[in-house]
Structure 1
């Protein structure tokens, strides 16, 4: 538990340092929107540094639940180990959300240590791509 707290604190410190360095960059080198994740296409063009900022931003972000607390029971499971009935629980949550929420939901599953079942990954990707 102590190691987890130390890792989270180190990640938060790194995030703060990255933000401070990023503020010193000329505006032309920064993606539109002010944060690394605000404009993904601009961030993708900006390169690895911007993507790193985005990953760090997600890592220190507070976990959000999408009325799916029951999925915490699957923490630590591999994506190819779900039965069709277990995958159906994920699909039920997936089909109740707006397409714009799917990306945040999948990111929050990852932050919670939950792998999405292989059975529904294609559908989630299609919803995210719109």
Structure 2
């Protein structure tokens, strides 16, 4: 029984030592190839992940990107139900001029600029996102 216990402790010690030395060797050589490959940003979402890496990068960015919509800055203090039809049409014009892959960036830009979407435009955006 004692021999079995000593053997198990010895195997656990060898496994621990091997793991430790392997980790030290990886960090000494700059990491493994897989981690370097996965650290590179992907140009477009492949659709295989629930959240695209590029979307995550865009969400973390605090840089405001304009989508030829500088005129919308005038609506910074508006609530979603404060817009008249002409103002809603300004949002709609920008929305329908966007490319499919620009919509989330535009929404992020509006969020950073503290511009609330009109409620009807929110519904249209949700419909467009679900449709795609």
> What TM-score does the superposition give when structure 1 sets the normalisation length?
0.56
* Alignment coverage as a number of residue pairs: 94
Shift of 1:60: 4.0
Q: Paired residue for 1:111? A: 112
State the distance in 2 between where 1:57 and 1:95 align: 21
Instruction: Answer yes or no: is 1:95 the counterpart of 2:96.
Output: yes
Alignment of 1:41-80 (within 5 A): 42=49, 54=56, 58=59, 60-80=61-81
Residues 58-67 or 92-101, more deviating? 58-67
> What TM-score does the superposition give when structure 2 sets the normalisation length?
0.55
Superposed CA RMSD: 3.3
Alignment of 1:110-129 (within 5 A): 110-129=111-130
Larger radius of gyration: 2
State the distance in 1 between where 2:58 and 2:100 align: 22
Does the CA-based 8 Å contact 2:73-2:115 persist in structure 1?
A: yes
Which 5+ residue runs of structure 2 have no aligned equivalent?
1-33
Shift of 1:41: 7.5
Q: Paired residue for 2:5? A: none
| Cα 1:118/1:42, change in 2 over 3 Å | same
Does the CA-based 8 Å contact 1:80-1:117 persist in structure 2?
A: yes
